[in-house]
Structure 1
Amino acid sequence: MTKDVIALTERMPDALSVLAGLLAGGPDLRVGTAGEGAVVQLCDAEGRPLVSIEVPLLLQVPGEAARLLGPGAEPSGDGPVWWVEARAAVGVPKAEQLAGAFAARLTMLLGGRVWPPDAPGTAGAARPVDLSDVTAVPAPAPAAAQPAVDMLTEQAAVILQDRPVVPMTSWLSEALRATLESDRSLQIVTPPHCRLSPCTAMLLQSTPSRWVVQDERCGYYDGQTGAVLSWQDGAFAPDRDERGETPVADAFTEVRPTGERQLVLSFRTLHRAEADLVLGGALEAAWRALTGGPPAGWGTSEPAGLPWSRRKLTDLAYERAPQPTWTVVVGTPDRPAVATLRVIRTPEGVEEDVTLTLGYGLDEKAALEAALEALPELADELVTRHKLKTMMCQVREARRDLSAPPRFEHPPLPYAFVLGPAEVQEAGRDTASRTPLRERPVQLGPNARPGFYYRLGDGDTGESWTALEQLVRHLRGATAG
């Protein structure tokens, strides 16, 4: 496994402290850069990388390090922390020890903690690591050969990870972009105890990527589908038995009900491209309606280190336009909530595509019921004030902390669907208001241009899928006619 070591420091890493950390391998190591200067690399005498170090990231969002690294990861105190990630090269003896020594030196000088706390090299870090017998492998040359990539073939870029939750970090996001541009598949290989953050899980599902889980019984399996995998022609691919079928790993089906639930809202808004437009209003309104407060933080990768700001989010989207902008938004530890927000410039205006997921424990049934009861009022606000196009509300049996384990999870069940004014006009008001559903839809917004809220079920039975299919067929039939 590739070994990542993270220094969480109480004070900002300055040039001298970083230099002291870089000297963990002695004065003979070379220092190089990659990723247009965003990554510093400790290299051997031939210039081959031993450890890659990301630019320090300021975390101003409480609980964000604990969300991704586990309880107790954050330094004591109420102030912000700096996240400095060091990634040791695969198959190079003492590279992990060098990464640990670098992180330990930073925390010795700046205060803080090293994750994992027992990483090799953290004890006795004041003494340089002896690298006299170490030889690294040459750095690969193709565009997909990012510092994060551990193995590169013509078919796939393979990344090895071993941490509690695999987040969509800046380096993983860059590796995903580069592999897609080179027509490769990104394949993340983990031990069975690892989980994916919701952002990583969603992006892997929406791209030709794969989560490969090591298993002592079958070797490897897909952590999102359970398909048994084997290494074939330069990539992990589904294995076949004598009948040509792909078996499902036993580990994937070993599921125990926990009673934990998730509420998932997926919605789109469309605004005119006006100079005074400020984005993020619909997401903030949903967050306040369902949690009682605004989001805690946001960023373009995980961990999300910036305090929530609609203004700064808008500025970033305008800077990147006409290219889309993808961001992650996070909540506070007391109510797990994570959202992805994608801003897209279209000929019609500026579209926001949002997926918001909230987690509820076994003893939080009342809180989930209160959130479900708040949905019609929230839908009315989104229609009236935030140019809502559509919204799907779903409930699923899944982890409260929102991370995705390498086990089967029940798919979400539709709970409600919302149609915005423009879509109502397209379908026809009479058609949108008179459906085959048992419950009459709730009219939203002004009478002149209304939207409609459709209750589909209770979120516990598959009958809601039948209701959704009936509704969609009814609305599409009207549009086609």
Structure 2
Amino acid sequence: MIDEAAVPGGNVSQSTVPHPLVDEAGEGFVVSRSDAPLVGFGAGRAGLLVEAARAGVRVILLTPASSRLTFAMLGFLELVGGVWVVEGSDGGLRLGLSGQRIAALAAALAVPVDAEVEVDALRSSPAAQNVLTVSMTVSHKPTVDTQLGRTTELIAEELASSRPSGWGVHEPAGLHWNTQNVTRFARQRMPRDSRLVVAAENPAALSGLLTVQRSAKGVTETTKALVGVGDEQQTWAAIEDRLPRLLGSLAERQFPLFGTVFLGRGESDLTTAARLPQPPFPVAMLLGPQAVRDLGIDTDAATERFGATVVGRRRIPSLIVPFTSDRTVGWHRFRDFAGAFGSERFARALGFGSALSDAQGANRAS
């Protein structure tokens, strides 16, 4: 379980992390190599990331260019400030996600924005499909009736036509899915965070991560999921029909804070390959009652100006804001909506400044 408060990357010379998956070390980092075609977030790598976080160093995961990472492996590696580096057949090194060339492993910790991109990273995957990246944060009261994991179930049922089948603190997520057991596990760990891996009955349809944290008013639950939506016809059926139903259900059954849905291209098995795809673009946002109130949104005006839909409870409404199916238009509408309230105020009201920054960064990259 990765919930360490240590911030990786401190002043550590020739780092020492006593773990069998450490292959070499440098100033402020350790290197872990894998030749596996698919690198997952197994117990060993989970332990390595915990030990590295405790030691205040960063992990460089070094693989061949042909390797792929699971959603969980990539998510937890990024959580602790780790970096994925791939090695070409000629021995050249590049970042797995951006394709930027680096001269040495140590350079992976601080790569210039304008670093040259390796041509091989631009090659598309013949097995790619459209993938929705869904992130939903809801708030719960700290009561005995609180049940965690229902958001995950709704995303799986509504968008992926599947159900969660397993959960765990690492892969494989071998514990039978049960919201009562997930809730009990997180409750016993409080006030520490709980970060879990979620598997679905159809692994190609959904891969998820669940984070549970204590908040000033109770418990915050964040669900992040990749959902495979196949070809173009299947994609727009999901976005135009099932997505509004999902967001409406969340607003009625939960107390949502903030949610985003992005569309991009991904692997058929929802893993991540060392290729440089087009950045995803926003297709919808869910603003919970607190965000609607803090931003002072006039729901009638938002409906007329942005095509928003009012959902949830009448006295404390939530708002679904669509950003269309076109990449360029979607980003324009996203900026227009955020700009209507001032970007900084928008981020503060939502309490998710990093999410907004990620979105704006992806927009600049596109």
TM bucket (normalised to shorter chain) is 0.7 to 0.9
Question: Which one has more relative contact order, counting CA pairs under 8 Å at least 6 apart?
Answer: 2
Residues 257-278 of structure 1: per-residue CA shift (max 9 Å, x gap): 6561101111100011112211
Match of 2:28 in 1: 155
1:336 Cα deviation from its structure 2 partner: 2.2
Which of 237, 246, 249 does residue 370 from structure 1 map onto? 237
Residue 269 (structure 1) aligned with residue 138 (structure 2): yes
Residue 274 of structure 2 aligns to a residue whose secondary structure is coil
Residue 383 (structure 1) aligned with residue 251 (structure 2): yes
1:142 Cα deviation from its structure 2 partner: 7.1
Report sequence identity in percent: 24
Residue 475 of structure 1 aligns to a residue whose secondary structure is coil
In the aligned structure 2, how far is the partner of 1:335 from the partner of 1:195?
14
1:413 Cα deviation from its structure 2 partner: 0.8
Residue 148 of structure 1 aligns to a residue whose secondary structure is coil
In the aligned structure 2, how far is the partner of 1:268 from the partner of 1:237?
30
Residue 296 of structure 1 aligns to a residue whose secondary structure is strand
In the aligned structure 2, how far is the partner of 1:236 from the partner of 1:321?
35
Match of 1:447 in 2: 314
In the aligned structure 2, how far is the partner of 1:437 from the partner of 1:220?
51
Residue 197 (structure 1) aligned with residue 65 (structure 2): no
1:414 Cα deviation from its structure 2 partner: 0.3
1:287 Cα deviation from its structure 2 partner: 1.4
Contact 2:21–2:48 under 8 Å retained in 1: yes
Residue 406 (structure 1) aligned with residue 269 (structure 2): no
Match of 1:473 in 2: 339
Residue 374 of structure 1 aligns to a residue whose secondary structure is helix
In the aligned structure 1, how far is the partner of 2:161 from the partner of 2:42?
28
Match of 2:357 in 1: none
1:455 Cα deviation from its structure 2 partner: 0.9
1:203 Cα deviation from its structure 2 partner: 2.8
Residue 339 of structure 1 aligns to a residue whose secondary structure is strand
Contact 1:229–1:238 under 8 Å retained in 2: no
**Larger helix proportion, structure 1 or 2?**
2
Residue 462 of structure 1 aligns to a residue whose secondary structure is helix
TM-score by length of 2: 0.83
**Closer/same/farther in 2, CA of residues 145 and 236 from structure 1, 3 Å limit:** farther
Q: Unaligned regions of 5+ residues in structure 2, if any?
A: 1-13, 350-366
Residue 224 (structure 1) aligned with residue 97 (structure 2): yes
Match of 2:120 in 1: 251
Contact 2:162–2:201 under 8 Å retained in 1: no
The residue correspondences of 1:65-464 to structure 2 (distance < 5 A) are 144-217=17-90, 219-231=92-104, 236=108, 246-255=115-124, 260-333=129-202, 335-362=204-231, 365-372=232-239, 373-430=241-298, 432-435=299-302, 439-458=306-325, 460-464=326-330
**Closer/same/farther in 2, CA of residues 433 and 328 from structure 1, 3 Å limit:** farther
Structure of greater Rg: 1
Residues matched between the structures, number: 333
1:218 Cα deviation from its structure 2 partner: 5.9
1:360 Cα deviation from its structure 2 partner: 3.2
In the aligned structure 2, how far is the partner of 1:443 from the partner of 1:370?
21
Residues 234-273 of structure 1: per-residue CA shift (max 9 Å, x gap): 6755689xxx963221221223565611011111000111
Residues 152-182 of structure 1: per-residue CA shift (max 9 Å, x gap): 3332111110112111112212211221222
Contact 2:15–2:27 under 8 Å retained in 1: no
Contact 1:396–1:412 under 8 Å retained in 2: yes
In the aligned structure 1, how far is the partner of 2:223 from the partner of 2:20?
30
1:197 Cα deviation from its structure 2 partner: 0.6
Residues 421-453 of structure 1: per-residue CA shift (max 9 Å, x gap): 1211222241x4424985421110122111111
TM-score by length of 1: 0.64
In the aligned structure 2, how far is the partner of 1:165 from the partner of 1:366?
29
